[in-house]
Copies of this chain bind each other. A is one copy, B any other.
Amino acid sequence: MNNNLLDTIALLSRTPAALDALLRDLPETWTFRNEGESTWTPFDVVGHLIRGERTDWLSRAKRILQFGESKAFEPFDRFAQQRESQGKSLAQLLEEFERLRSENLTELGAMNLRAEDLARRARHPALGVVTLSQLLAAWAVHDLTHLHQISRVMAHQYRDAVGPWSAYLGVLHCTGHSEA
């Protein structure tokens, strides 16, 4: 495997344990509050990451190998977790994410991707032509985008509590940059 793919897999394999260590059994002040109307709580984010494991990232990788540019991706459903997380605890979601990610990385490893596979092209419904290599890199940075978001959402809950220190705490000055 090439270095880039090994780096990608190394990061993807750590995210579930990192989120578990950060969030499990944490008071709901941190995990069940958002940044205002139509924004996500850390609980919502973990549900979104589960959806990505279940239907998006690896499925798209397989689709690239099978169809190349001849069949565009299905768009992501960014609100699926509102239905799919209902009635579950955060601990259950963290375990589900860990299990699905682990299964997906096992399957990814078994695909034995070579350089020519990673260069395969596909059609993204909005972004145009992309490669398998870019898809796998985006899977890893998608984890980081949501870790970045979770740290921001949590910090927001203490915006008033820190008083004048807010001037020095960069995370409180982050406006989010996108819906994620």
Contacts from A to B (Cβ < 8 Å):
3-4, 6-7, 10-11, 14-15, 17-23, 26-27, 29-30, 124, 127-131, 133-135, 137-138, 140-142, 144-145, 147-149, 151-152, 154-155, 158, 161-165, 167-174, 176-180
Contact = CB atoms under 8 A, between A and B. Distances in A.
Contacts of A14: 21-23, 26
A6 B22 contact: no
User: Closest 4 A-B residue pairs measured CB to CB?
Assistant: A173-B177, A134-B163, A138-B165, A170-B178
Given A127-B167, A134-B161, 10 more contacts: A3-B27, A3-B29, A14-B23, A124-B164, A127-B165, A130-B163, A140-B158, A141-B171, A170-B178, A171-B177
Contacts of A27: 3, 6-7, 10
27 contacts: A7-B29, A10-B27, A17-B21, A18-B18, A18-B19, A18-B21, A124-B164, A127-B167, A127-B168, A130-B163, A130-B165, A134-B162, A134-B164, A137-B165, A138-B162, A138-B169, A141-B155, A141-B169, A141-B171, A144-B152, A144-B155, A144-B171, A145-B151, A145-B172, A148-B152, A170-B179, A174-B177
B148 A174 contact: yes
Contact of A165 (B15, B29, B134): B134
A147 B70 CA distance: 40
